[in-house]
């Protein structure tokens, strides 16, 4: 198990901190229900800086490859993670609500003990599609070979041709 990386977020920004590392998928427990298997790892880099408006911010980069379960065929779906996000650190709830009102700006509440692994896991989960699926036609369900059935071209034009061929078996 990796050592948890906890930062004082505002201090991290003031010191222009940079941290990078690798996290095995086994350690991202909230992500497990979405995964086909727990193989692999993600790499991350977090950097503290002041943005153009002099607001304390974190820049987060996450890369890796995870295996999700396709919601159509339930087989393995390879998903490449390549996330980059900037998060403004709000010093209080009022500032957090103000930043939430502005479109395109993600904000989190500044913390003395921000768990970077939890932040990374949350960003991965938020970056996933609601329903992960293979592209159209790539699922195992769609790859069944209908040409091996005993129906000819004239039967395939009829909507009940497949049922007719199944009835013969």
* Residue 27 confidence (pLDDT) above 50: yes
Q: What is the pLDDT of residues 59-118, one digit of tens each?
A: 999 999 999 988 888 888 889 999 999 999 988 888 888 776 675 678 899 999 999 999
* Residue 156 confidence (pLDDT) above 60: no
Round to whole Å and give the CA distance between 135 and 70.
Answer: 10
pLDDT band at 154 (very low <50, low <70, confident <90, very high): very low
**pTM (predicted TM-score):** 0.75
* Residue 49 confidence (pLDDT) above 70: yes
Average pLDDT over residues 158-163: 70
Q: What share of the chain is helix, strand, coil (3-state, %, to 5)?
A: 35, 35, 35
3 compared with 54, residue with greater pLDDT: 54
Residue 150's pLDDT is 44
Residue 157's pLDDT is 59
CA torsion, ordered 100, 103, 104, 108, to nearest 10 deg: 0
* Residue 20 confidence (pLDDT) above 80: yes
């Amino acid at each position: 198990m990796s050592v948890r990386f906890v930062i004082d977020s505002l201090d991290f920004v003031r010191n222009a901190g940079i941290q990078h590392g690798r996290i095995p998928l086994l350690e991202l427990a909230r992500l497990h229900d979405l995964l086909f298997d727990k193989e692999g790892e993600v790499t991350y880099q977090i950097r503290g800086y002041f943005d153009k408006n002099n607001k304390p911010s974190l820049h987060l980069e996450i890369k890796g490859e995870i295996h999700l379960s396709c919601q159509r065929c339930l087989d393995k779906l390879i998903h490449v993670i390549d996330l980059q996000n900037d998060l403004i650190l709000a010093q209080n709830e009022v500032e957090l609500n103000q930043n939430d009102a502005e479109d395109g700006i993600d904000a989190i509440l500044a913390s003395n003990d921000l768990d970077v692994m939890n932040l990374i896991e949350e960003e991965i989960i938020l970056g996933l599609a609601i329903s992960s699926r293979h592209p159209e036609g790539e699922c195992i369900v769609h790859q069944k070979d209908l040409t091996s059935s005993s129906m000819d071209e004239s039967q395939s034009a009829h909507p009940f041709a497949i049922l007719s061929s199944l009835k013969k078996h």
